[in-house]
Amino acid sequence: MFSVPQSSKSEFLDKARQAREERKGHKDKEKAATNIQALMFVNKTEVVYSLILGCATRITVILCVTQRFEKLCRAILASMEVENEPKVWYVSLALSKDLTIPWLKQIKDVLWTCCQRLKNLKPDILQDNKLVTLYLTMLVTFTDTSTWRIVRGKEALRPALTRFCENIMGHLNQKGFYSTLQILLTNGLARSKPSLSKGTLTAIFTLSLR
C-alpha cells in the first residue's frame, strides 16, 4: 500500500478547508444581497452609491442620529437632481424587482422620520428653519412623481411610480401626517412675527392637498 506523505495530506486538508470557507462566504453574500439597502454619499458634484449588505441596523442608526440623517436626506435629494444618470437616482432602486419592497420600506421610514423631526423644529431659529425646508422638500419630492427625471420621456413608468407615491402617502396618513403639518403651521404662524416663508407655506399647502 502506498502511503500519503504527512505534509501533502496537511496541504490537501488546508486547501479543502479554504475552499469550504470561500463557498460559505459566497453564499453569505448572496443571502445578504436579498436585503440590500442603498446609502448615498455626496462627493462635491458626484453622487456615489455605497451598497451596504444587510444594513437594517445601520439605517436605523442613521434615522436616529440628527446630523447623519440630515446628510442622508441631502444625498438622496442630490441624487434626484443629477442629469442623465438613471443609475444614480435614488428612485431608480424602486424599479429593481428585488429592491422594490426594501426601497418602499426605507423611503417610508425616512419620510416618517422627517415628519417626526418637523414636529419638534422651531422655524424661528435659523438652523431649524433650514431643516424644515429640507424635510418638506423630501416629503414633496417623494409623494409625487412630477419632479422625477426617471419619468421624462418614459410615461409608461408613471402609473406604477404613482402607485408607489400613493402607497407612501397612505402610510404617512396612517401615522399622523396631517397632524404633523398642523403642528408645523402652529409653530410657525401662531406668534407675533410669522416665521414660515412663502416657499415653506407653498410646500405645506401642496402636501395638504395630496
pLDDT 10s digits, 28-53: 554 444 343 444 443 433 333 444 43
Average pLDDT (6-32) is 61
* pLDDT band at residue 99 under the 50/70/90 scheme: confident
- Which of 7-16, 19-28, 123-132 is most confident? 123-132
- HEC-encoded secondary structure of 124-155: CCHHHHHHHHHHHHHHHHCCCCCCCHHHCCCH
CB 43 within 8 A of CB 105: no
Let me know whether 23 and 40 are in one domain: no
Q: Which domain holds residue 65?
A: 34-208
Same domain? 72 vs 104 = yes
Residues 140 and 199 reside in one and the same domain: yes
Sort strands 37-43 and 46-52 into parallel, antiparallel or unpaired: antiparallel
Does 146 lie in the same domain as 70?
Answer: yes
* CB distance 38 to 90 below 8 Å: yes
Residue in the block written with cell 444625498: 75
Per the structure, how many domains does the chain have?
Answer: 2
Residue 128: its pLDDT value, please?
Answer: 96
CA distance 124 to 14: 67
Average pLDDT over the chain reads 80
Same domain, 20 and 47: no
| Integer-rounded Cα radius of gyration of the chain | 23
- 23 with 92, same domain? no
CB 143 within 8 A of CB 165: yes
| Cell 409608461 found at | 156
Q: Which has more confidence, 43 or 119?
A: 119
Residue pair 206/140 in contact (Cβ under 8 Å)? The answer is yes
Instruction: Specify the pTM.
Output: 0.71
Alpha-carbon distance 73 to 41, whole Å? 10
Are 84 and 180 in a shared domain? Answer: yes
Do residues 43 and 132 share a domain?
yes
Same domain? For 19 and 40 the reply is no
> 79-93 pLDDT, tens per residue?
999 888 888 899 998
Same domain, 90 and 152: yes
Q: CA nearest 141: which of 198, 77, 94?
A: 77
Domain shared by 73 and 172, yes or no: yes
**Residues 4 and 70 occupy one common structural domain:** no
